[in-house]
């Protein structure tokens, strides 16, 4: 497999390669490895806000965590959807739960 793929995540487009999407850098069987990339563009109905973190993770095999608590929480929630279970396990980061009374 070769070539570029456009991922349209919630209306924002990200360009990457098939190799990046199917890489083993993540140490996970991830959502992206299962996608049919033969059409060149894939729509993913998710919020694009933190998607770049996952794309960089697939490219480099390293998650660079932001300092911001809210962004970290968003990344972890999206990690569940995308199937990055080992990433979640390795973080040891458990977001604080806020309960409204």
**Predicted confidence band at 27 (pLDDT cuts at 50, 70, 90)?**
low
The per-residue pLDDT for 1 is 47
Cα–Cα distances (Å) from 95 to 56, 69, 70, 92, in that order, read 22, 8, 9, 10
73 with 39: CB under 8 angstroms? no
The per-residue pLDDT for 94 is 54
Residues in CB range of 98: below 8 A, 6 or more apart:
none
Token pair of 71 as six digits: 């962004």
**30-74 pLDDT, tens digit each:** 677 677 777 778 899 999 999 999 999 989 888 889 999 899 999
Q: Among the CATH numbers 3.20.20.370, 3.40.50.300, 3.30.710.10, 2.60.40.10, which is that of 4-91?
A: 3.30.710.10
Domain segments of the chain as ranges: 4-91
CA distance 93 to 11: 29
CA distance 87 to 101: 32
pTM given for the model = 0.78
Token pair of 10 as six digits: 């919630």
Token pair of 63 as six digits: 């998650």
CA distance 92 to 4: 34
Residue 8 reports pLDDT greater than 90 = yes
């Amino acid at each position: 497999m070769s070539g570029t793929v456009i991922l349209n995540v919630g209306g924002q487009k990200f360009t990457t390669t098939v190799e990046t999407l199917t890489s083993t850098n993540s140490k996970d069987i991830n959502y992206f490895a299962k996608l049919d990339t033969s059409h060149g563009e894939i729509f993913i109905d998710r919020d694009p806000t933190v998607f770049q973190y996952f794309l960089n993770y697939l490219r480099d095999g390293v998650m660079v965590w932001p300092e911001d608590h809210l962004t970290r929480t968003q990344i972890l929630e999206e990690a569940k959807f995308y199937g990055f279970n080992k990433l979640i396990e390795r973080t040891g980061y458990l977001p604080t739960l806020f309960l409204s009374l």
